[in-house]
């Protein structure tokens, strides 16, 4: 079985500051890890995914995440926040490429002008 | 547009009404899903269809009845719902046979916001 924990349901950062959204996972098999973003009144959109290749994964819109097995973490970062980054971010885990994704409860990111 | 279209975007219904949500994808995907998104809760997987066959029913009450006539269309029929069923219902699709790439990525629709009075 797999699970994810997103620390912090709300995160606020100033425009231009570092964005760090935390995700820890639990998995009984090698995990596949994902970050999805949901903008207001829209569905979820894939930001990036880890599939056992490079541990540092680069995604769209300048986001990246690093898989750290020793820490069971997959934190999402962006060096410089932009107002358009305001959204809800979901971490998700699956195992062995099957269709069952387990999502976290989400982190709402607010950007302060 | 994400490639997955959901209608209606908003629906208000009474507890005795019967309504349906529709999902359509033209991405050539063979798997389709219904998720329920409620405030402050993780996304809940409701149903999964692979090649039109239901492969997952996550203990969903029978007042929710899915239908998948073909790989491009998915419906969620609603009847005698309860106020606690008010939520955003998300449809998603994915290709199958991506085991070699290690991940089966979902493409989501924008959702249908359901309010049950």
Tell me which chain B residue has its CA closest to the CA of residue A101.
B45
- Could you tell me which residue, B26 or A96, shows the higher pLDDT? B26
Q: Residue A3 CB: number of other CB atoms within 10 A?
A: 13
- Measure the N-to-C terminal CA separation of chain A; round to a whole number of Å: 41
Of B20, B116, B5, give the one whose Cα is nearest residue B76.
B20
Tell me which chain B residue has its CA closest to the CA of residue A47.
B105
- Could you tell me which residue, A96 or B25, shows the higher pLDDT? B25
Separation CA B31–CA B115 (nearest Å): 27
Q: Which residues of A are less than 8 Å from B111 in CB distance? A: 42-43
- Could you tell me which residue, A100 or B20, shows the higher pLDDT? B20
Average pLDDT over residues A44-59: 90
Please answer yes or no on whether A51 and B101 come within 8 Å at the CB atom: yes
Helix, strand, or coil (residue B84):
helix
Q: What is the mean pLDDT of chain A?
A: 91
Instruction: Give the model's pLDDT for residue B99.
Output: 42
Of B28, B26, B27, B46, give the one whose Cα is nearest residue B36.
B46
Comparing CB atoms, the residue among B104, B107, B110 nearest residue A42 is: B110
Please answer yes or no on whether A105 and B41 come within 8 Å at the CB atom: yes
Separation CA B7–CA B10 (nearest Å): 8
Tell me which chain B residue has its CA closest to the CA of residue A30.
B102
Comparing CB atoms, the residue among B50, B92, B110 nearest residue A41 is: B110
pLDDT surpasses 80 at A53: no
Contact A2, A102 (CB under 8 A): yes
Instruction: Give the model's pLDDT for residue B51.
Output: 86
Percent of chain B with pLDDT over 90: 65
Please answer yes or no on whether B103 and A34 come within 8 Å at the CB atom: yes
Comparing CB atoms, the residue among A9, A41, A97 nearest residue B103 is: A97
Does B10 reach chain A within 8 Å, measured CB to CB? no
Average pLDDT over residues A50-67: 92
Instruction: Give the model's pLDDT for residue B73.
Output: 96
Weakest mean pLDDT among B21-25, B92-96, B102-106: B102-106
Going from the C-alpha of B35 to that of each of A16, A43, A59, B85, the distances in angstroms are: 34, 11, 24, 12
Instruction: Give the model's pLDDT for residue B101.
Output: 47
Tell me which chain A residue has its CA closest to the CA of residue B106.
A46
Percent of chain A with pLDDT over 90: 74
pLDDT in tens, B31-67: 899 999 998 788 999 998 988 888 888 889 999 999 9
Min Cα distance A113 → chain B (Å) is: 26
C-alpha count within 13 angstroms, C-beta hemisphere, residue B7: 4
Separation CA A106–CA A5 (nearest Å): 9
Weakest mean pLDDT among A98-102, B2-6, B66-70: A98-102
DSSP string, A12-72: EEETTSPEEEEEEEEESS-EEEEEEEE-TTS-EEEEEEE-SS-SEEE-GGG-EEEEETTTT
pLDDT surpasses 90 at A57: yes
Q: Which residues of A are less than 8 Å from B102 in CB distance? A: 32, 51-53, 97
Instruction: Give the model's pLDDT for residue A96.
Output: 65
Buried b (16+ CB within 10 A) or exposed e, A15-43: eeeebebbbbbebeeebbbbbbbbeeeeb
Instruction: Give the model's pLDDT for residue B24.
Output: 97
Instruction: Give the model's pLDDT for residue B98.
Output: 44
């Amino acid at each position: 079985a797999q699970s994810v924990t997103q620390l912090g349901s709300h995160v606020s950062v100033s425009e231009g500051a570092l964005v760090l959204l935390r995700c820890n996972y639990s998995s009984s098999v090698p995990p596949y890890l994902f970050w999805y973003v949901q903008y207001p009144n829209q569905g979820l959109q894939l930001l990036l995914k880890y599939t056992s290749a490079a541990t540092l994964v680069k995604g769209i819109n300048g986001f990246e995440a690093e898989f750290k097995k020793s820490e069971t973490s997959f934190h999402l970062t962006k060096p410089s926040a932009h107002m358009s980054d305001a959204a809800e971010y979901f971490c998700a885990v699956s195992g062995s490429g099957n269709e069952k994704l387990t999502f976290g409860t989400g982190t709402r990111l607010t950007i302060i002008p | 547009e994400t490639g997955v279209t959901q209608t209606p975007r908003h629906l208000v219904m009474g507890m005795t009404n019967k309504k349906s949500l529709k999902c359509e994808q033209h991405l050539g995907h063979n798997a389709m899903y219904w998720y329920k998104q409620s405030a402050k809760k993780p996304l809940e997987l409701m149903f999964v269809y692979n090649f039109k066959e239901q492969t997952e029913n996550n203990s969903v009450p029978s007042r929710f009845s899915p239908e998948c006539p073909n790989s491009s269309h998915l419906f969620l029929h609603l009847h005698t719902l309860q106020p606690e069923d008010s939520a955003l219902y998300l449809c998603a699709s994915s290709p199958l046979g991506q085991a070699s790439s290690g991940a089966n990525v979902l493409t989501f629709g924008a959702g249908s916001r359901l309010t049950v009075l």
